[in-house]
Chain A
Amino acid sequence: MSKRILVLLIITILSLLTSLLITLLLGVKAPTSIRDLGKYYVANTIQDTASPEAVTAIVWDYRGLDTIYETTVLYMAIVGGLAISTISRKVQLKTRIGLTGITRTATRITVLLIATIAFAIALHGHLTPGGGFPGGSAMAITAMLIVPVYTLQSLLERGVTSTRLVAARGLALTAIGLVAILPVLRGLEAVTNQKFYPSHIAGMLISGSLWFYNFFEFLAVASGFAAVALYLSIPEELYREELRGGG
């Protein structure tokens, strides 16, 4: 048995033992009844937020401020990653062939399907499980598909770069901030939903600000993760050259 496996085994056994001890000593038990807060959410979500989807209502309305800060944290992480992995000169890759014609055709179909589903997840976030974050993550998969099939170089030549995607993310995040702050101008609290935003537009239920949050979060997450996918696909060699060149 190698040393690494031994260490992993010891860590696993220790953590299992610790959790067992905590369970036995502190007598942690799963609650048998629903908490009052849970009952409140179930009973009042539809009146308070005009959304039948309680999870979205909690995430973007009851705890909206929390979620906006979380979005900002992710933004900082992505910007930090970009700052580390920036290459000073223009990225020029040798391989421009990509995969076979069969793969390209199938990728076109699947990218279209994934984009449709991603939009559906994001725009129906206030009605069905889903929302901006899952929708945006699904959308970012299209970037991850296009990079190996059509090559990174072809994307870069069309002007799709990590820097621009991060800028798009910044714009989307600004839009989220604006949606949160606009009610303040009318003297309401920040992240107000139903008192400021209409619940319906042209007869369609949008649950006030929830739809806007979901939409902008979708754009933010999609562009952010696509940016990560792009800068992670730059080969390690280029970074090494950059280091040797002294930056």
Chain B
Amino acid sequence: MIEQIVFWVGSTLFIIGGVFDLLASIGMLRFPNFYVRLHAATIGAIYGAVLPLIGVSLMALGSPDIPGNYTIAGASFVTAIILLIVAPIGSHVLAHAAHRSKSVTWSPVIDLLEEDEKK
């Protein structure tokens, strides 16, 4: 019983991840400038990759018939954690570099970093 619940929770996470990937790709196409597109890309990386990976891990835990299911579960969970650390840093560095090089044309409502740098 508990295995089936774990499996179905995992599947739900997996499907939610797919939905987020779709939303992120729509965002990538529709958002107006680099920074918000970066936001969409990070949504694809976190909700669209970390969430499904945790889902895969739960699905593997919930299916003891598959040989080596604990290996699959552990590996996908560790990958999810590493992605959770690395993906936001990637976006952060990209945004930082774009802001410093002033290579993005945009009309922000408020840009606190710019004000800080002027001081």
Contact = CB atoms under 8 A, between A and B. Distances in A.
Interface of A: 99-100, 102-103, 106-107, 109-110, 113
B86 A100 contact: no
Contacts of B86: 106, 110
B85 A109 contact: yes
Nearest to A113: B82
Contacts of A113: 82
Interface residues of B, number: 7
The dominant DSSP class at the B interface is helix
Nearest to A114: B82
B92 A103 contact: yes
A113 B78 CA distance: 11
B96 interface: yes
Nearest to A100: B96
Interface in B45-69: none
B85 A99 contact: no
B89 interface: yes
A113 B83 CA distance: 12
Interface string B85-119: 11001001100100000000000000000000000
A102 B93 CA distance: 9
B85 A110 contact: yes
Contacts of B85: 106, 109-110
